[in-house]
A and B are shown apart, each in its own frame.
Chain A
Amino acid sequence: MNVSSAPDPMLPEPLRITRAKREMHGVFTFELDVSARGGFPFLPGQFNMLYPFGAGESAISISGDPHQPDRLEHTIRAVGAVTRALERLGRGDVVGVRGPFGSAWPIREAEGSDLVVIAGGIGLAPLRPVVYHALRRREAFGKVALLYGTRTPDDILYRKEIERWRGRLDVEVEVTVDTAGSDWRGNTGVVTKLISRAAFDPGRAFAMICGPEIMMRFCARELERLGVSLDRIWITMERNMRCGIGLCGHCQFGPSFVCKDGPVYRYDRVQDLLLVREV
């Protein structure tokens, strides 16, 4: 009889919420206590299945610093039954966690290149670990740009953190909103406009994009127009993930499973699939 000692990937691990922070309306961040298990190592771009007991599971990207595995963070937008159940939890409550699952942003491969991080709306959460990594290993990259678009000035995620990043002299940080009132003094317009203004060399840049699919397609098109090779553009996909290990088939995306082969994909490998309406 062959008995494996590896942890069962289908078994949620109960972790206590040590900090619950409201980021903006309907969006909140949980920090989970991983001290008893000696930390929670993960790669930027990976996700966990979070389980508010009795309500079901939801795939949530890890949004914390990969260099601080003792702090496990997730930023969640309450849009469905499970995420609304998570929203009702607070400090001291326990959630079930399975993971980390999925592919990662190619941060090692991008070293030596200019790095363009493009995020839309809540899509900044899965890219925040990339930003943390790039800032911590700043010398490993050429130019680094974070281009962030969101709906209105009230919808800017991690606002204080973005302001802090923007204060650095070695990173370009630009924010734009789709619409604003006359009291907003920042950029208004879609995030694609920031791309052509950013200071990077299209011939030696890596781009990592996360946001709604339409936004990612528009951004990839703009990057291509500027001369960025499609095999240096990476995106992250969102699908209905259930098992997290490529068994159940709920997140099938063409020949791949987003939970196992994704969620991070090289753009040229999925660009045609993105246009197939039945997938």
Chain B
Amino acid sequence: MEKESLARSIAQHSLVAGMSDEHVDFLSGCVRNVRLDEGQLLFREGQRADELYLIRSGKIALEIHDGARGTIVVETVGGGDALGWSTLFPPYRWGLDARGIHLAHLFAIDGACLRAKLEADHGFGYAFTRRLLNEVHSRLQRARLQTLDVYRARP
């Protein structure tokens, strides 16, 4: 995909929507397209986190493996979601596994490239981080509700 067309596609993603053309162009220099097949592992806990993903379509399971309980799916993510905060913060290692449930298409943003651009242009850095923070806020709210186990039967 040509850079211009790639930038137009990225601009459709909810994390990027509303960003200036200049910032989208700036970001698109770090982006490549990725296809994740059903059952395919995107990343594994402990491995180096070197890409942030914007999911365009499909469904991906975030899994944690426990020796006693086996594999536990903690959340599924899909079109419009962003995945891979670990690529922004040291030590840049994945905290869980991500596996395709249904064929998924993603934009992969190179972590080192993104971090350099966030530092190089603070206007872009603010716009991007603000969107990311909104996503993290939503994720945190959901995680809190999930932790409460509200559907457990109580007398």
Give the interface of A toward B (CB within 8 A): 26, 77, 79-80, 120-122, 149-151, 155, 176, 178-182, 184-190, 192-193, 197, 211-212, 214-215, 218
**Interchain nearest-CB distance for B72 vs A (Å):** 6
**Interchain nearest-CB distance for B135 vs A (Å):** 11
Which of B61, B99, B142 is close to A190, meaning CB atoms less than 8 Å apart?
A: B142
* B89 within 8 Å of A (CB atoms): no
In the bound complex, do residue A214 and residue B145 qualify as a contact, i.e. CB atoms below 8 Å apart? yes
Which of A26, A149, A176, A188 is close to B74, meaning CB atoms less than 8 Å apart?
A: A188
**A180 CA to B148 CA, complexed, in Å:** 16
Give the interface of B toward A (CB within 8 A): 59, 61-63, 70-76, 78, 80, 99, 101-102, 141-142, 145-146, 148-155
Which of B72, B75, B150 is close to A211, meaning CB atoms less than 8 Å apart?
A: B150
In the bound complex, do residue B71 and residue A181 qualify as a contact, i.e. CB atoms below 8 Å apart? yes
In the bound complex, do residue A182 and residue B150 qualify as a contact, i.e. CB atoms below 8 Å apart? no
Supposing A182-B63, A185-B101, A215-B145 touch, asked if A120 and B150 sit within 8 A by C-beta, the answer is yes
In the bound complex, do residue B71 and residue A182 qualify as a contact, i.e. CB atoms below 8 Å apart? yes
**Interchain nearest-CB distance for A227 vs B (Å):** 15
Q: Cβ of B70: which chain A residues have Cβ within 8 Å of it?
A: 181-182
In the bound complex, do residue A155 and residue B151 qualify as a contact, i.e. CB atoms below 8 Å apart? yes
In the bound complex, do residue A181 and residue B73 qualify as a contact, i.e. CB atoms below 8 Å apart? yes
Beyond the given pairs A155-B151, A188-B76, 17 more chain A to chain B contacts, judged by CB atoms under 8 angstroms and listed by A's residue number, are A79-B153, A121-B151, A149-B151, A150-B151, A176-B76, A178-B151, A179-B74, A180-B72, A181-B71, A181-B72, A181-B73, A187-B76, A188-B62, A190-B142, A190-B146, A197-B78, A215-B145
Which of B73, B99, B153 is close to A184, meaning CB atoms less than 8 Å apart?
A: B73
In the bound complex, do residue A192 and residue B150 qualify as a contact, i.e. CB atoms below 8 Å apart? no
In the bound complex, do residue B73 and residue A179 qualify as a contact, i.e. CB atoms below 8 Å apart? yes
In the bound complex, do residue B61 and residue A182 qualify as a contact, i.e. CB atoms below 8 Å apart? yes
**Interchain nearest-CB distance for B69 vs A (Å):** 8
Q: Cβ of A189: which chain B residues have Cβ within 8 Å of it?
A: 75-76, 142, 146
**Interchain nearest-CB distance for A219 vs B (Å):** 9
Q: Cβ of A182: which chain B residues have Cβ within 8 Å of it?
A: 61, 63, 70-71, 73, 99
Chosen A-B contacts, 29 in total, with CB atoms closer than 8 Å, are: A120-B150, A122-B151, A149-B151, A151-B149, A155-B151, A176-B76, A178-B149, A179-B72, A179-B146, A180-B73, A181-B70, A182-B61, A182-B70, A182-B99, A185-B101, A185-B102, A188-B61, A189-B146, A190-B145, A190-B146, A192-B142, A192-B145, A193-B142, A197-B78, A212-B150, A215-B145, A215-B150, A215-B151, A218-B141
**Interchain nearest-CB distance for A149 vs B (Å):** 8
Q: Which chain A residue lies CB-closest to B144?
A: A218
Which of A151, A185, A187, A188 is close to B151, meaning CB atoms less than 8 Å apart?
A: A151
Supposing A185-B101, A218-B141 touch, asked if A151 and B76 sit within 8 A by C-beta, the answer is no
**A150 CA to B78 CA, complexed, in Å:** 19
Q: Cβ of A122: which chain B residues have Cβ within 8 Å of it?
A: 151
**A77 CA to B76 CA, complexed, in Å:** 28
**A120 CA to B151 CA, complexed, in Å:** 7
Q: Which chain A residue lies CB-closest to B150?
A: A212
Q: Which 10 A-B pairs rank lowest in CB-CB distance, beginning with the nearest?
A: A121-B151, A182-B71, A212-B150, A151-B151, A189-B75, A188-B73, A190-B145, A180-B73, A188-B76, A190-B142
Q: Cβ of B99: which chain A residues have Cβ within 8 Å of it?
A: 182
Q: Cβ of B145: which chain A residues have Cβ within 8 Å of it?
A: 190, 192, 214-215, 218
In the bound complex, do residue A212 and residue B155 qualify as a contact, i.e. CB atoms below 8 Å apart? no
**Interchain nearest-CB distance for A199 vs B (Å):** 13
**A187 CA to B78 CA, complexed, in Å:** 9
Q: Cβ of A187: which chain B residues have Cβ within 8 Å of it?
A: 59, 76
In the bound complex, do residue A214 and residue B150 qualify as a contact, i.e. CB atoms below 8 Å apart? yes
Q: Cβ of A149: which chain B residues have Cβ within 8 Å of it?
A: 151
